[in-house]
Amino acid sequence: SPGRKVLIVYAHQEPKSFNGSLKTVAVEELSKQGCSVTVSDLYAMQFEPRATRSDIVGCLHNPEEFNYGVETWEAYKRGGLSSDLVEEQKKVQEADLLIFQFPLYWFSMPAIMKGWMDRVLAQGFAYEFPDCYDSGLLKNKLALFSFTTGGSREMYTKGGISGDIRYLLWPMQHGIMHFCGVKVLAPHVCFAPEFVSEEKRKEMLVAWAQRLKTLWKEEPINCSSEWYFK
């Protein structure tokens, strides 16, 4: 894996948090392997999650009626997206692997990270009809969702109160990443770190470091709905 580039998109307010530790473990472990690692620390960057007119520099394609998707697509083609987006797109473009590190909020990612998806993965950059799913524009990249939950592992099973954890991954892994052509590695879920012992949390960090050691040998998951709903 030397020479490979990794982008970690990280959403947590507190560096001393468990998510902060997971992010640090990834940076250290991957750097040790000779990968070059970039972190987009969304809260520290005060990343703007809202998709607005400000994302387009200069004149609009249609000033009469604002259509965000059309305007950002046109802006991307003429190099007229705002600098914060251009910067993130450049990081994505260069990365072989994208790691998303976050606490699960309401069965999904925090708003600041969803806003990153909404704004960065513009048409023309990440997909282009009909170039989506297997022919999405970000093919040859890998993604991995690493997150923490409030609920226990038992809660997130098919028969559990929250349903199978894989159900929640369908919109994130399939609807966003696979849509853009990205291949997805198995998610890394740390269940209920708040409610386990310090000892157990240390074990979780060690397990993540261990997994990262052989990450490049892993095969992506099967991209069909079967993986999620079988």
Q: If you average pLDDT over residues 96-123, what whole number do you get?
A: 98
Which neighbouring-strand residues pair with 190? Answer: 148
Q: If you average pLDDT over residues 93-110, what whole number do you get?
A: 98
Res. 1 pLDDT band, cuts 50 70 90: low
Given this model, what pLDDT does residue 177 score? 98
What tens digit of pLDDT does each residue of 27-59 get?
Answer: 999 999 999 999 999 999 999 999 999 999 999
Model-wide pTM > 0.95: yes
Contacts of 90 (CB under 8 A, 6+ apart): none
Alpha helices in 79-171 (DSSP H): 83-94, 111-120, 165-169
Assign domain 5-229 one CATH number from 3.40.1080.10, 1.10.10.10, 3.40.50.360, 2.30.40.10.
Answer: 3.40.50.360
Radius of gyration over every alpha carbon of the chain, rounded to an integer in angstroms: 18
Q: With contact defined as beta carbons under 8 Å apart, do 88 and 8 qualify?
A: no
The token pair at 65 is 């009626």
What tens digit of pLDDT does each residue of 117-171 get?
Answer: 999 999 999 999 999 999 999 999 999 999 999 999 999 999 999 999 999 999 9
**Exposure of 202 by Cβ count < 10 A (0-12 exposed, 13-18 middle, 19+ buried)?**
exposed
Q: How far is CA 159 from CA 12, 104, 134, 163, in A?
A: 30, 20, 32, 6
DSSP state of 58: S
Mean pLDDT of the residues in the chain? 97
d(CA 126, CA 77) in angstroms, rounded, equals 12
Can you tell me which residue has the tokens 């993986």? 227
The token pair at 201 is 């949390």
DSSP state of 69: H
Q: How far is CA 81 from CA 3, 87, 106, 206, 219, in A?
A: 29, 10, 31, 40, 35
